[in-house]
Structure 1
């Protein structure tokens, strides 16, 4: 089953890359859907993205913006990649 999800993600990403340059705005949503499928099936990918979000605040801001506007199922997957930030108490 996992192989099918990875195959679906690969197809979505390839289609997204092929159509990102067309005037019809389908490339970015397809890329985002491929990313969500990968993140939903791979703990390693989730940890990797969480680390990148921690180090790159611009990426984190972009994904926060996407979380707010994405459908609930996509948003839930993206929220799992939020970096855990320490809170200073004092």
Structure 2
């Protein structure tokens, strides 16, 4: 099943890269959806994104903005990558 989701993610990312320069705005949403599928199916990818968000505050702000505007199903996946509070 994981192979199916990874194949889906790769297809979404490939389509996103192929259409990112078209005037119809389909590339970025396809890239984002592919990324969400990868994060949802891979703990290692979620952990890597969490570490990156911790080190790059601007990236963390961008993902927080996306979490607030995404459908609940996708926002829940992105919220798993929030940096943990230290202290």
TM-score relative to the length of structure 2: 0.97
Runs of 4+ in 1 over 3 A off after TM superposition: none
Query: What do the CA deviations read for 1:57-90 (whole angstroms, capped 9, x no partner)?
Result: 1111111111011111100000000001224xxx
Give the whole-Å Cα distance in 1 for the aligned partners of 2:21 and 2:85: 36
Which of the two has higher C-alpha Rg? 1
TM-score (norm 1): 0.94
1:61 aligned partner: 61
1:84 match: 84
Q: Which blocks of at least 5 consecutive residues in structure 2 are unaligned?
A: none
